[in-house]
Structure formats: structure tokens, C-alpha cells
Amino acid sequence: MTITVQAGATTVPAAGPGITEPGIHQMTNEAYHSHRSALSSSGARMLLPPSCPALFRHAQDTPQEPKKTFELGTAAHKLVLGEGPDLVRVDAEKWMTAAVKAEVAAIRDEGGIPLKPADYQQVHDMADALRRHPIAAALFDPARGKPEQSLFWRDRPTGVMRRARFDWLPDARSGRLIIPDYKTCRSAEPAALARAVQEFGYHQQDDWYRAGAKALGLADDSAAFVFVCQEKTAPYVVTVVEMDAEARRIGAARNRRALQVFAECTESGVWPGYSDDIAYLSLPTWAAIRDTEEYIQ
């Protein structure tokens, strides 16, 4: 049986072994991440400095082991978005015994997320705090959108298939489309978030997701992308932020370069490191200024 979903004005088949047609495809998170011939926003960021194509290729080819930080974030996403792996409370504060380790491994093998009692309570408290935030609660209103939507579209200049998995896709309606993305963080203070944007390349994610919405006819250039950022410690403060025009321009330029690099590396089969030549280095500007002032008169 063929199942279809609507993507703007185009009806596309549900996801199969390989995505070759643009559209919104229904699939699990694991299936989405298996489509490595299509470039994601996180992959695009890994292709460029301070990373490199060699690190991107290695990450694609090497499965990641579960980490507590990742599992807590995924658990919080499940409660906020209403979709994701089962959360299983493991009633042991320390996972040291063979019996508890076996229980944890079995939960992970079945696709669930094992959580210590304190962590289980933490993610529930985080979800409750987010629902009390007027803007965040409205953005993730279950009556006005769908969670975990996988978008695929073709990049015209390079021919590269692009992909994005929206945390939340609002239902079609008149007015400006606002696409929210949920992030857990150490600090939701705006200056700290600005540093996180630079460190993790979230301005590239902004441009990438808006480009996907536009390519599939879900929105025009007026679409907004906002980050709903929540601290992981009580009282689980929430801040909603949107990138300014300059950040979006820089993100778009970096994405364009990443798409070119991906196309070139895919064609050649060569995924280079930082440099094939001898790198000529200078001191960081701040160190050069400091030492010039201190030692050179």
C-alpha cells in the first residue's frame, strides 16, 4: 500500500529506502538519520571550519554511543513535542550492578531512553515549566501543528538533496509562518545564547530550515525561525530568540559554501582534512597584542 502526505501543492510518496523526490515524509528519527546521501543542517555545519570534511565523513560512518546529555535532551523533546522514544524510569540512583546495567541495555536495545529517578523528574518538570511560558506553549500547541516532520528538497545550484527534521511544523494558515525549534541549554540568558549560536552554528540551521519550508511551498521569504531555549536546571527558565538579518545572511552564505563542498567531495570521493599543505600560523590577535605591549618596546 502506498501512503501519501501533502507537501504544499505536491503529493509525495511516504519515505522508502532512499528519498529521491522532494516532500514531507513520515518516518522515524532513526530512518531520517539513515538518509546520509541527503545533506542535513548539522552535516553542513560539520563540513566547514572549525570542522572539516574528513570529520564529517567519519561522523557519518561511525555510530555514536548513547550519552547522558543526549538522552536527557531527547527525553525533554519527547515530553515537549509529544513524540519520540519511550521514557523508562530505572529505580536506581547508581547504575553499577550487573542487573541494573542489563536493564539499561535492554531499554536502549528496545529503542527507549532509560532515566534515573532524578532525571526522570527533571525532564517532566522542564516540560511543565515550558507549558507555563506563554509564547513557548503557543508555539508548540498540539492543536496547531505536528511534531517531528522530515523535509527533503533538491538544491538547484548543486543538485544536492537536502533534508531537515522540524521539531514542529505549524499547520497551514494565513499570516507569517513561525517555525519553532526546541533547545536545552546551560543558560538561556540572551548573551549566552548568542555565544551558543556562534559555537554550534545555529544561524545556519535558521537559514536551512526556512529554505526547506520555502522550497516545499510551505512559506515565503517572510517565514520566521525561532529557537525555544530552556535551561536544564531549576527553575528551567525559557527564552525564545530569533536571529537578526546579519546572522541570517552569514548563515545562508555558510550553507551555500557547505553545499558546494559536499557536492565536490561526493563527486571526487575525497573528504579532506583541515589543509593538505603546510599551515602557516600566526599568534591569535589578542596574544600578539598582549606580548607586543609587554615585551617589545
In tens, the pLDDT along 136-158 reads: 999 999 999 999 999 999 999 99
Question: Strand 178-185 to strand 224-231: parallel, antiparallel, or no bridges (unpaired)?
Answer: parallel
How high is the pLDDT of residue 1? 24
Q: Helix 245-268 crosses helix 202-215 at what angle (to 10 degrees)?
A: 80
How high is the pLDDT of residue 202? 97
Q: Which residues contact 111 (CB under 8 A, 6 or more apart)?
A: 30, 85, 86
Q: Is residue 90 part of a domain?
A: yes
Q: Is residue 208 part of a domain?
A: no
CA-to-CA distance for 224 and 204, rounded, in angstroms? 14
Cell 597584542, residue? 289
Q: Is residue 106 part of a domain?
A: yes
One digit per residue, the tens of pLDDT, for the chain of length 297 reads 222 233 333 333 333 446 778 999 989 888 998 888 999 999 999 999 999 999 999 999 987 776 767 888 999 999 999 988 999 999 988 898 999 999 999 999 999 999 999 999 999 999 999 999 999 999 999 999 999 999 999 999 999 999 999 999 999 876 789 999 999 999 999 999 999 999 999 999 999 999 999 999 998 888 999 999 999 999 999 999 999 999 999 999 999 999 999 999 999 999 999 988 898 999 889 888 888 877 776
Please give the model's pTM, rounded to 2 decimal places.
0.86
Q: How far is CA 31 from CA 17, 27, 89, 143, in A?
A: 9, 6, 26, 26
CA-to-CA distance for 134 and 228, rounded, in angstroms? 12
How high is the pLDDT of residue 288? 83
Q: Is residue 228 part of a domain?
A: no
Q: Is residue 7 part of a domain?
A: no
How high is the pLDDT of residue 75? 94
Q: Is 110 in a helix, a strand, or coil?
A: coil
CA-to-CA distance for 207 and 250, rounded, in angstroms? 9
How high is the pLDDT of residue 30? 86
Number of domains in the chain: 1
How high is the pLDDT of residue 297? 60
Q: Is residue 265 part of a domain?
A: no
How high is the pLDDT of residue 295? 74
Tell me the backbone φ, ψ of residue 52, rounded to 5 degrees.
-160, 165
Q: Is residue 103 part of a domain?
A: yes
Eight-state DSSP code of residue 39: B
Identify the domain containing residue 115 by its residue range: 66-131
Q: Is residue 105 part of a domain?
A: yes
Q: Which residues contact 217 (CB under 8 A, 6 or more apart)?
A: 7, 8, 9, 10
Cell 514531507, residue? 24
